[in-house]
Structure 1
Amino acid sequence: MIFSKEDNAKELIETIVTCSLIELDGFPLFYKLEDNISFLKRLFSDCSDFVIREFKLNNSVNAILVFVDGLIDTKEVNQVLQTLMVLENGDDDIHVIEKALLPVSQITKVNEYNNLLQAVLSGTTGILVDGNDEGLTLSIQGAEKRSVNEPEGEAVVRGPREGFIENIRTNTSMLRRKLKTPRLKMKSLVVGRESSTNINLAFLEGIADPQIVEEVSRRISNIDMDAILEGGYIEELIQDSTYSPFPQVMYTERPDTVAGALLEGRVAIFVDGSPMVLIVPATFWMMMQANEDYYERFQMATLVRWLRYLFLVIALLTPASYVAITTFHQQMLPTTLLLSIAAARESIPFPAIVEALIMEISFEALREAGIRLPKAVGQSVSILGALIVGHAAVHAGIVSSPMVIVVSITGIASFTIPHFNAAISLRMLRFPLMIAASILGVYGILVGVMVLIGHMANLRSFGVPYLSPIAPMSVGDFKDILIRAPWPVMENRPSFERTHDVRRMDDGFANQVQQGGGQDGGP
């Protein structure tokens, strides 16, 4: 619907009473203050937290402040009222009020209800004056918010201890402290018909590929949904392959991780109300890297990465391999080990695949219960399940001791994956691989692994191949995949990100250090 200032105010008020902010796009502010008051009271009827504070400018001109109780700083609102009430005669024009000595850092002019209410419902305060078809929004937010703490899901031994919170402006300020440059851009979007969720796209101009930035913005702008309550909504709506089990969007609650991703040419997506920041494009190898890899010496970081890849294979293939070997390929085991496993399974009434499914499902249930319950109770459930129930199941002849060992090793291995969404993918993929192993043995595992690798090679994340730089191969980018090369060697950013500024540091830095005489004891 298209609105104009010439439309009759009463007819417009009767036409639009209950609507979303998107439906108010183009709806103008009224000249008469009584029409604005009437419209706002009808639009926000039965909204006890929406406040319309009427007052007079210099005891002559009617005006109102509109705000949401609980989202503003009451003391600052009172100071604004005191300042406006003592303006000089003739200061009833909104442009004069804008230039008045108000105790506010940011003042914005608005002439449509969509913009006014979007700002007010986000925590600002609106001013409307009789005889003006424009209003002002004052940035005097004061809502309660959680303090900045260390992220529980991404704890480190060495590195910053701060994590994002649910307030988007606090989160962007934490990133700004990491990257003090005007090249750090924050593109603002609003998504959700009812929630009107604020979203910021962060990228480094001159480093990030403009086409990727534009594609991310286009996908988010095209979302037509009633509400966006968390970043997971955005993640699932913008990813390239919806039905793939592999995550194509990375998320983190650490500002240093976001800063590092932006320096490699990626785009960060901040969602108001979520402490998780999305990062695109994402590759499989990103999921195997932790921010602490870049804070420790490269030898230690490389060793830890090799351990992660080893435990990745263990977490994915160990249960399936146990099922395949004990069912079809007993000759692959040493005789002593085979006899030990056969003796342990002698009283088990189930085949290996059923035994494996019982243990894996029970383990996943215990892990989920430990997460959902309060911390103290969750620890008790974990101890109860691991020690008492597991021990009793073995003695009752439901499962064998070797299977308990296999599932335990698998669970421990999955905990070494740095990113939770990648670990979940591995936990899901274990089950089809176990079923394939129970049908075709080792050949079923090989077929399943080939299907997974082929699927991953076919995946894209905003145009970037999911297995880059392994497939397609880019030898120059191997410095930060299977190993973590020393910083003096990693002069360039990843080439598969299509960054415009490929140089990360001066390539002569290492030579300058050595030529300075540090190793020879010179000056």
Structure 2
Amino acid sequence: MHKNVTEVFSSLEENIRLIEDLYKDCADVVKRRMWIGENHYPVYALYMDTMINRELVETHIFRNLMFSMGPVSWDRPLDDILKYGMITADVAVETDLNKALKNMMSGDTLLFADKGEGVLVINSKGYPNRGVQTAESEVSVHGAKDSFTESVRFNTVLVRRRIKDHRLKTIQIVKGARSKTDIAIMYMEDLVRPEILAELQRRLDCFEIDGILDGGSLEQLLEKKWYSPFPQFQSTQRPDKAASALLEGRVVVLADNSPEVLMLPAVAGCFYQASDDYYDRSGIASFTRFLRYVASVLAFSLPGLYIAIAAFHPEVFPTSLALSFAASRQGVPFPLAVEVLIMELAFELLREAGIRLPGAMGGTLGIVGGLIIGQAAVDANIVSPIVVIIVALTALCSFTIPNEGFASAFRLVKFFLIFLGMFLGIFGFVLGVLALLVHMASLDSFGVPYLMPFAAGEVNGGSDKKDGIMRWPLRKMNRRPVFTKNGARRRLIFKDYTRDQ
């Protein structure tokens, strides 16, 4: 774009020459001269052929301008077109040419007029998009089944359907010098902590990039400690989960072209929460959540702990169990640590291949491939049966973590502990676990400690722990988490109707 041109020319011909120069060799950009009104006033329309609602633009707006409109004033044409020619309510006059052309590239229609003080920007977005479907990566038994799409406009609507409150605010910004990606920031005005919102806006202002094509790219640019394997934003495909975060005083960031949204602040406990936890009874939800915590510990510690004990401290095992382990390794040519690494790497390859293959084929490969490779490896005396059991149990535990990003971080930690256990035994394993805890304790998400509420003392009267490892009954969870602004923590007033009158 011509950097020295920022305002719309008053001359129609000058605007046409500029547009023809800017969008030369752009086959999908429609440039159309028209004569409207009874006096055949000259105008110039500009729009993206594949990103508009064609019926709205060509059948209704253009037809109305050309055949149903009276004479157009030569002095103030845009006023007449706005008053008598527009059948759509979402239309505005824009004097900044750069902003107008950005809107056109997003699906709006521009209408230039001679002697007009600006250009008409008509909302005509109608580009093809994927319909609302089930969230594939966050399947739930109870609750809503819809998921976010790749359109930021539709995604904000899915959230608005659940929170019909005028205090739900949306800030619209654009990032990406070339992609011009629309980003929406949603928050509850009376619940969000101002310092969190200000810090988010500060970080957004700290970078410029050619393009943002997905929310994952935005997440990496906004993270404070980018080198950490642990995510400092919580992502979700479920609108009900995003709405729940907003009602807790958190901020939701939506990026166009991304079916996932980012929620902040995000602490470790957030990644263990599933939507079903709040639709099931508290006892069932607490049991399943406790299983997730135990499984997550086993997912990163079990292989390294087994190597550290079996290779360096076999006396820890009962005699019969130690003899059984030793007998199962008869004929295996590799050291114990190499056995575990072979099976772990084989399973990681199966996991990656299963993700890349389409649909049910990927799941079939993971199950059948794991069974075949494991059995063949045992029959060939490459690995022992106990190692296959350890690796399979570790993989099973990793699948119980609801958030894929958090589970992937534990996969990296698993290999870190395997190598420490391989070289330093139980002392190296314990040292690795301590290093992990220190690292997680050093993290924060927009000023909120990452291990909140487990390692930050009694905060918010201890009510944050009511939604920690255990999920208390909903009638007891009457206060919002620590994310919420001071003075707005109470969310439930419950009168006990079970007492005798």
Query: Equivalent residue for 1:91?
Result: 73
Equivalent positions of 1:29-428 (< 5 A) are 29-58=8-37, 59-78=39-58, 79-85=60-66, 86-92=68-74, 93-428=77-412
Give how far 1:101 is off. Answer: 4.7
Task: Tell me if the contact between 1:91 and 1:97 (Cα under 8 Å) persists in the aligned partners.
Answer: no
TM-fit CA distance, 1:379: 3.6
Alpha-carbon distance between aligned partners in 2 of 1:90 and 1:288, rounded to the nearest angstrom: 63
Say what the alpha-carbon RMSD is for the aligned residues: 1.5
Task: Tell me, yes or no, if the aligned pair for 2:43 and 2:113 is still in contact at 8 Å.
Answer: yes
Post-superposition offset of 1:376 = 4.0
Aligned pair in 2 of structure 1 residues 173, 420: CA closer, same or farther (>3 Å)? same
Identity, % of aligned positions: 39
Once the two structures are TM-superposed, the CA of residue 453 in structure 1 deviates from its matched residue by 0.7
5+ residue gaps in structure 2?
none
How many equivalent pairs are there? 493
Equivalent position SS for 2:452: coil
Contact 2:41 2:72 in 1 (8 A): no
User: Does the 8 A contact of 1:488 with 1:510 survive in 2?
Assistant: no
Q: Give yes or no for the alignment of 1:502 onto 2:481.
A: no
8 Å CA contact retained: 2:47, 2:105: yes
Q: Any gaps of 5 or more consecutive residues in structure 1?
A: 1-15, 18-22
Task: Report the alpha carbon displacement of residue 427 of structure 1 after superposing the two structures with TM.
Answer: 0.7
The Cα shift of 1:165 comes to 0.5
Partner SS state of residue 171, structure 2: strand
Q: Which secondary structure does the structure 2 equivalent of 1:100 belong to? A: helix
State which drifts further: 159-168 or 101-110. Answer: 101-110
CA distance in 1, matches of 2:85, 2:71: 15
Equivalence for 1:9: none
Whether the aligned pair in 2 keeps the contact of 1:220 and 1:234 (CA below 8 Å) is: no
**Residues 290-330 of structure 1: CA distance to partner in whole angstroms, max 9, x if unpaired?**
11111111111111111011101111111001101111110
Task: Give the Cα separation in 2 of the matches to 1:299 and 1:476.
Answer: 18
Contact preservation (8 Å) 1:191, 1:223? no
Give secondary structure in 1 for the equivalent of 2:27: coil
CA deviations on 1:240-286 (whole Å, 9 max, x unpaired) are: 10000111011001000001111111100010000000001100000
How far has the Cα of 1:218 moved from its partner?
Answer: 2.2
SS in 2 for 1:495: coil
Contact 2:69 / 2:85 at 8 angstroms: preserved in 1?
Answer: no
C-alpha separation in 1, matches of 2:189 and 2:302: 45
1:499 & 1:227 partners in 2: Cα distance? 37
- Residues 201 and 217 of structure 1 are in contact (CA less than 8 Å); yes or no, is this contact kept in structure 2? no
CA-CA distance at 1:450 after TM superposition: 0.8
Please tell me whether the aligned partners of residues 315 and 410 of structure 1 are also in contact (alpha carbons under 8 angstroms): yes
Q: Which amino acid counterpart does residue 353 of structure 1 have in structure 2?
A: A
TM-score, normalised with respect to structure 1: 0.92
Superposition deviation, residue 141 in structure 1 = 1.5
Contact 2:175–2:208 (CA under 8 A) maintained in structure 1: yes
Does the CA contact (< 8 Å) of 2:175 and 2:183 recur in 1?
Answer: yes
Specify the alignment match of 1:13 in structure 2.
none
Instruction: Tell me the CA shift for residue 132 of structure 1.
Output: 1.2
**Counterparts of 1:150 and 1:217 in 2: how far apart (Å)?**
32
SS of the residue corresponding to residue 8 of structure 2 reads coil
Separation of aligned partners in 2, 1:398 and 1:468: 44
In structure 1, distance between residues paired with 2:72 and 2:107:
30
